[in-house]
Amino acid sequence: MNKPYSFSIDQMNGIVEDTYAKIINECENLKKNTNCPNEQVLALLSVIASNYAAKTVNKDN
């Protein structure tokens, strides 16, 4: 099992907050420049998030 992790207060008020703002800004830029709906941005973010998901092994196959 993976060890639980949480950002420190300093990280939350620093790099995490900055990264969040940058991601939101880039999503807004994507919508503005492509006229895509929110659902398309959500789909893209889901694909990105899946790259960080824990890998599971299916033992039935």
pLDDT tens for residues 29-54?
999 999 999 999 999 999 999 999 88
Residue 32 near residue 40 (C-beta atoms within 8 A) = no
pLDDT tens for residues 5-33?
899 999 999 999 999 999 999 999 999 99
Q: How far, in whole angstroms, is CA 59 from its chain's centroid?
A: 29
Q: Which residues contact 37 (CB under 8 A, 6 or more apart)?
A: 31
Q: Output phi, psi for 35, to 5 deg.
A: 60, 25
More confident residue, 4 or 49: 49
Q: Tell me the pLDDT band of 1, cut-offs 50, 70 and 90.
A: very low
Judge whether residue 61 has pLDDT over 60.
no
- Residue 25 CA to residue 38 CA, distance in Å, equals 13
Whole-structure pTM value: 0.75
